Structure 1
Amino acid sequence: MNQHPRYLFLVLVLGLLITACRSPLSGSGDQAQAFATPTVHALFAGSPSALDAATWEPSPAGEVPTIAPIFANSPTEPPTAQAATATPDGAPATPMPQPTLDATQLVTVTIYGDSINPAWTLNNSVGVTYSLFDATNPHSGLYALAVSPTLAQGQLAFAVREDAVVQYPRDQVYAVRFWLGSGDGLIETDDLAVSILGSNQYPYWVAGDTSVQNAADLPTFSQTRLYFLGVNTDIPPQTWVPIEIVLDELLYDPDYAYVVGIWLYHDDLPQPYYIDNLQLLLLADAETR
């Protein structure tokens, strides 16, 4: 009876050996069972992804990395230039709409047309010579005013004479207009500028008059170049163009009592230019302003 446990143990060991021989080892490379390939959704199927295929390399020093098109900013229209937002005294920059004026509401005063108005003088001009009676190319009538620059910068100065028997109150002057001729040369849009001068003390021009004050960082009277006066391109040779300056549209000019001068500045203009039919447009009734 003492030998039965030994027989039982041998029987158990023999059974285990037989079972192991009949079961394949799952870890064997050739005998491992092939698993079915998992189903991949169409969204992810296909060629390897860009992330798998791409080889990242740092950009060379100083080089701006290229941005993929989906992240790059789309081209946009250039911003529209805006008018100045305020005058020096803080008033709105956009002028109040001007009344529609017809011929019955305006009085035309000619300063130059074949001759100069006796209430005005050109004696204060600097850096130019001029001829009041140039017959080569008038816009209308017999003559034009020919102006020849003699310095790189200068001005043709129309000034109200001290002995003038007329006055030009600012609140009755609506605009200044004239014809500008290029003669034989080209006039660029920044070659000429116009200023309207005023006084709070005298109804005529006086050298050194300081009765009109403007903001400290601004000239007393603005110099408006041609490109702000509707001349959008260079003026070709042998061409006349109309110029009009509405005084209420000179946003940065101060208030004053009298109009006393019209200055035409030139800047590096090498050839003569011409003026014809220079006029003031006065309001027939100041109440229409």
Structure 2
Amino acid sequence: MKKINYAICTLCLLVVTTIAQAQDDLLNELTQETKGEAFHYPAFKAMKIGNLQSTKVADKGDLYLYVSHRFGSLRDGINTFFGFDNANTKIQLVYGIWDGLQLGLSRESLRKTYAVSAKMRFLRQTNAFPINVVAYGTLNVNTDLTKERFPLLDERDRLSYATQLLISRRFTNAFSLELAPSFVRQNLVLESFQSHNQVALGVGGRLKLNKRLSVNLDYVYNFDRAEGSIYQDPFTIGIDIETGGHVFQLLFSNAQSTNEPGFISNAEGNWAKGDVFFGFNIVRVF
């Protein structure tokens, strides 16, 4: 009987020891997984802050339909129904090729401009890394230029380019900030004071007011803006309205073009004179 009791006690001890060891091993695995897990912190909900590109990149397989509309200048008053008669519309398709890479194709009515673009994400803000880093590039083709107006026009003169490095950080759940060093190349400039190559720095921010509403603004300083230029540095302010499957953006800007070479180089409006364009962006995801 004593031998049986001893055997039972020994067996119970082995079982308890095994269970304890298994619990320790499981706890160690969970601890390691928790340490290795990275939580992503997206800075922006839409692909654009206002006019400026954000660090958001389309997910693999997602197709975005982007409709951007800019009315004419509010300064024109009732003569153009506050810009209604001189609107600029852009339709763009963006597709996520794979995780971290998107390609885009668009057509803007202003100067009948076609554009292709690419955006690639290099780094994501996580609980272990402080910022998002994304590269963006676009090629624009101005089909409004004609041989009748420019007899010496070369096909290369229709082209303009822009490249940007987008660096953002979500500081809190409500506030995000972005810096965007930019380079623009215009093969054809229409004024002698303009530079073909222009370096600029964009800054943009987002302040979330509630679950579905945020205030956004962006500004781009052009370091190569000629003194006395008729063009201005673009400043845009607006709001994001999230409505389930899409984001609706309402904004005011002194630039009517929505393409980077257009609004960075040739923003024709002036906030101080009330020469401002009202517009909106609608984004739908499929």
TM-score scaled by structure 2?
A: 0.27
TM-score scaled by structure 1?
A: 0.26
Report which structure shows greater RCO (CA 8 Å, sep ≥6): 1
For the pair shown, the structure with the greater C-alpha radius of gyration is 1
Which has more helix, going by share of residues? 2
Which has more strand, going by share of residues? 2
